[in-house]
Amino acid sequence: MLRVKNLESGYDSIKVIRKASIHVNHGEIVTIIGANGAGKTTLLKTITGLITPQRGEIHFDGKDITRLATEKIAFLGCSLVPEGRQVFAPMTVRENLILGGYLQVKRGEGGGEEDMEKIFDLFPRLRERESQLAGTLSGGEQQMLAIGRALMGRPKLIMMDEPSMGLAPLIVKDIFSIVCKLRDSGITVLLVEQNAKAALAIADRGYVLETGRVILEESAQELLQNKDVQRAYLGREKRKSAGVCRT
Ligand code: ATP
């Protein structure tokens, strides 16, 4: 579904991503974990065309998207749920979702009313707050809206940048169980997280990014048991959040 090869990117003369290679197979949840400033957001922004890569290749669903414009990448079915949600604050929940459905309209697939119902089934809280301004939603509700808005574009791959950031543990559990449901419905997921424990509990595979380099690539199980990963990212605790997918 996604293949990133020897990618180098950054900001002007600053190199952030250094020869990073990752891949995501159809139907997987793959997570990228790493400390603050490791380059996780920069990597996602480069995949979505928000940053032009300096070197390397990016292929999505069999197509070379290395230097494609962001709207074309989104049109192909690769969506980003950005860090900090970035909902359209002065617009209502419904209006935010309608905007997400723009890709459907552009593909001639309809206006998205049916999909909106599915999203309201997935996030009943959004249905209750359909007419509320997005800027007045709680952090968790805004995260649900940001995911819902991305889903309105019917993505094949959904990339999420720190969906758990700033949220209470119970809301994080809800969001992560939704991520599992998305995978079960056939959407491939690339999940960037600082909450490594929660991310590895639901992921199939994971990568560890350190100063822009992929230093480890293993199954989520292996990463959870890796002593270095435990020390650096899991606070040596056991896998408490396991089982979220099975609720
Ligand atoms: P976090 O988990 O804190 O969000 P991250 O792993 O997502 O971190 P990035 O946000 O990709 O890391 O940042 C990687 C590096 O790139 C950091 O050193 C950061 O200061 C730098 N950086 C990010 N955005 C810019 C920018 N617009 N201009 C210059 N440098 C930037």
When mean pLDDT is compared across 16-25, 44-53, 87-96, 227-236, the lowest value belongs to 227-236
Which position has the higher pLDDT, 169 or 130?
130
Return mean pLDDT, the chain: 92
CA of 211 to the centre of ligand 1 (A): 10
Q: Ligand 1: which atom is nearest the Cα of residue 43?
A: 11
> Beta strands 188-193 and 157-161: pairing type?
parallel
**What confidence category does residue 233 fall into, taking pLDDT thresholds of 50, 70 and 90?**
confident
Q: Is the CB of 79 under 6 A from ligand 1?
A: no
Out of 14, 18, 54, 164, mutate this one to test ligand 1's pocket (max ligand atoms within 8 Å of CB): namely 14
Q: Is the CB of 195 under 6 A from ligand 1?
A: no
Which of 116, 166, 160, 114 minimizes the C-alpha distance to 141? 166
The structure tokens listed for 204 are 């199939």
Q: Is the CB of 11 under 6 A from ligand 1?
A: yes
Which of 92, 89, 109, 93 minimizes the C-alpha distance to 101? 109
Nearest CA to ligand 1 atom 15: 37
Q: Is the CB of 212 under 6 A from ligand 1?
A: no
How far apart CA 119 and CA 113 sit, in angstroms, is 10
Out of 8, 40, 85, mutate this one to test ligand 1's pocket (max ligand atoms within 8 Å of CB): namely 40
What pLDDT score was predicted for residue 240? Answer: 47
How far apart CA 204 and CA 27 sit, in angstroms, is 10
| pLDDT tens-digit series, residues 145-184 | 999 999 999 999 999 999 998 888 889 999 999 999 999 9
Nearest CA to ligand 1 atom 10: 41
Residue 242 has pLDDT above 70, yes or no: no
Residue 202 has pLDDT above 50, yes or no: yes
- State the average pLDDT over residues 79-108: 92
What pLDDT score was predicted for residue 106? Answer: 82
Share of the chain above pLDDT 70, in %: 95
Nearest CA to ligand 1 atom 20: 37
| pLDDT tens-digit series, residues 97-124 | 999 998 888 888 876 788 999 999 999 9
